[in-house]
Structure 1
């Protein structure tokens, strides 16, 4: 099944957090928070400005993004849990291969 977001919406797959802390402590499932990092799976054509022209989105498929804790709407497509959110809910794009947890 294919999914095409409308306007300035994007489809994001959450990237699961590590099972251990840097010190080696294993985190149980009940104590884990939902990850706030994900990979963009699909992007809509963009929002329209006041004159009616389409503004291209800043994110593209494959980008790793950070988003707010309560951002987006959770959906299940093809047996996979994904998020649909507006591009404005994205806080930033992670550049390079360094993870957000290592950068902080």
Structure 2
């Protein structure tokens, strides 16, 4: 008995879904795109991409040197590497690693 109820519910759900899909507007409506503005394109995007890429590389380098025992291999310095970390500084100290 329970299986027949589930079949009835699934058939009713399928019929409702078919009715909704039939009543929905066609997906072939075309949207007119505005003409491209001057200065917008691949050539003008490269400076922004370069700045974002350099920032990403520096953030990854800082995370690597703060959370692993790799040390400051690019010698960029900073709190905890070239000087003490102040009391109010919001900086994670480098890990205490065994000397090599």
TM-score, reference length from structure 2: 0.16
Higher relative contact order (CA 8 A, sep 6+): 1
- Given the two structures, how large is their TM-score scaled by the length of structure 1? 0.15
Comparing both structures, which one devotes a greater share of its residues to helix? 2
Which structure is larger by alpha-carbon Rg, 1 or 2? 2
